[in-house]
Amino acid sequence: MTRRISIFGATGSIGQNTVDLIARDPDAYDVVALTGGANISRLAEDAKRLNADLAVTCYPDRLDDLRAALRGTGIEVAAGEAALIEAADRPADWIMSAIVGAAGLAPGFRALRHGTTLALANKESLVTAGPLLLAEARAHDATILPVDSEHSAVFQALVGEEMDAVERIIITASGGGLRDWSLEALANATVADAGAHPNWDMGQRITIDSASMFNKAMELIETKEFFGVPPARIEAVVHPQSIVHALVGFNDGALMAHLGAPDMRHAIGYALHWPDRRDLPVNRIDLAQVATLEFRAPDLRRYPALGIAQSVMETGGRAGCIFNAAKEIALDGFIAGRIGFMDMAGVVEATLDAMSSEFGLTISPSTLEEVLEVDQMARDRAWSCIRQKEIA
Ligand code: NDP
Ligand code: MG
């Protein structure tokens, strides 16, 4: 039976890995919609290759380019936010949520309304609106499958287990490209320094977030939201080889680890074929060749993002939403050369403090609109924090 699938964010890093898996077995899938942004030629090429019904760019001013690129193919084209929602309304059995940033929330929420299976790569959905998202899935009998590699690993380690028996969850962090730099050197790290990753091939923003561990901080929050484990029982450990992705500790002392090559097609493929396992074109691990698996506790002076994540998890409410927005702006500020690498955490903390004294943090947003409102307020506050840092 062919499965109807859609890929949101098809032109990105996760999206392209998903396209790669689908393209290997074209007869098994009926591709409903592919969405992208500025990369019109990639979107058009993949829409043709996978024979999609619909291609959507999020940019209305690129619609003509997309139409020109797909003229004569019979593939429908559309553009803009409303078109993304309309694409999420099209019946599909499996949807990949791989748009980057808060823009990924609305299409994912809409897809859940149709009781679909949502493969969730977009981290921002769980960090900014975890309880709402899970409630939406429950209300419509929809399934969310984690695609972030650590969460896919935890999910796999939990197969057949009772959550009552889970004592702790440990996710691993490579430490990013700057893990052996001194604290003084870190303060002067450039965008090019932070944008090179030793193990994973990802986009620039998430690679810098790996070096600062803001990515891991997001993942700790995702873990709490998705698996419902108390913050004190969730930890991150530095593991330079990126072979063990996560471990689950049980009440009998057992630790179940998930090992795999650092290739996102593993987690994407698991979500695609779940609950089955199928052959995937990923490298097999040769343990003798890997030889050593190292683990060490992260140094919170080097990675202040992890400390912030712990308090965000404990606070709950709107703290995750503010954290995510502030971290995106802090990253913009770093990429634009307006603040240093180690200043990003300060901006996020100052934004959380400012929003806490103005509005309080503990009230959870109760609608997607409220989430987006808090997100916007936090972005504005974060920019003021950056301006204050520039003046100081
Ligand atoms: P990329 O930046 O590589 O791709 C993002 C995708 O979203 C592209 O298709 C892009 O289009 C599209 N896009 C950009 N802005 C918008 C917008 N405003 N509205 C709609 N679509 C938009 O990101 P990644 O693939 O790296 O990551 C996607 C998500 O998955 C993120 O949330 C990330 O944190 C998460 N993730 C990524 C991992 C990785 O290995 N890369 C691992 C785990 C999670 P275009 O490029 O055409 O402009
Ligand atoms: Mg990850």
11 lines ligand 1 (CB under 6 A): yes
Q: Is beta strand 166-173 parallel, antiparallel or unpaired with respect to 244-250?
A: antiparallel
CA of 149 to the centre of ligand 2 (A): 5
The residue from 146, 163, 191 where one domain ends is 146
Q: Are residues 154 and 84 in the same domain?
A: no
- Which residue ranges are tagged as binding site? 11-14, 37, 39, 122-124, 148-150, 174, 197, 203, 210, 215-216, 219
Asked if 301 and 363 sit in the same domain, the reply is no
State the first-to-last Cα distance of the chain, in angstroms, to the nearest integer.
63
DSSP-assigned letters across all residues of 157-193: HTTT--GGGEEEEEEEE---TTTTS-HHHHHT--HHH
* Pair 39, 101 in one domain: yes
Q: Could you list the residue range(s) of the whole structural domain that residue 358 is in?
A: 316-392
Q: Which ligand is nearest to the CA of 36?
A: 1
pLDDT in tens, the chain (392 residues): 799 999 999 999 999 999 999 999 999 999 999 999 999 999 999 999 999 999 999 999 999 999 999 999 999 999 999 999 999 999 999 999 999 999 999 999 999 999 999 999 999 999 999 999 999 999 999 999 999 999 999 999 999 999 999 999 999 999 888 999 999 999 999 999 999 877 777 778 888 999 999 999 999 999 999 999 999 999 999 999 999 999 999 999 999 999 999 999 999 999 999 999 999 999 999 999 999 999 999 999 999 999 999 999 999 999 999 999 999 999 999 999 999 999 999 999 999 999 999 989 999 999 999 999 999 999 999 999 999 988 87
Does 216 fall in a domain? yes
pTM of the model: 0.97
Number of domains in the chain: 3
The one-letter amino acid code at 174 reads S
- Of 97, 123, 146, the residue at which a domain comes to its end is 146
Kindly state if the Cβ of 382 falls inside 6 Å of ligand 1.
Answer: no
pLDDT at 388: 93
Contacts 24+ apart (CB under 8 A), 61-66: 62/38, 65/40, 66/40
Is residue 36 in contact with ligand 1, taking CB distance under 6 Å? yes
Query: Which of 146, 165, 190 is the endpoint of a domain?
Result: 146
Ion ligand 2: residues, CB within 5 A, are 148-150
Helix residue ranges per DSSP H, 316-367: 319-335, 343-359
Q: Is 99 in the pocket of ligand 1 (CB under 6 A)?
A: yes
What's the pLDDT score for residue 253?
A: 98
Same domain, 127 and 152: no
350 assigned to some structural domain: yes
The answer to whether residues 230 and 131 belong to one domain is no
140 & 201 share domain: no
Q: Would 267 be classed as within a structural domain?
A: no
Note whether 291 and 388 are same-domain residues. no
Q: Is the CB of 215 under 6 A from ligand 1?
A: no
Q: What is the CATH number of the domain that holds 89?
A: 3.40.50.720
133 belongs to a structural domain? yes
CATH of the domain at 387: 1.10.1740.10
Q: Find out whether the peptide bond into 275 is cis, omega within 30 degrees of 0.
A: yes
Query: Do 142 and 238 belong to one domain?
Result: no
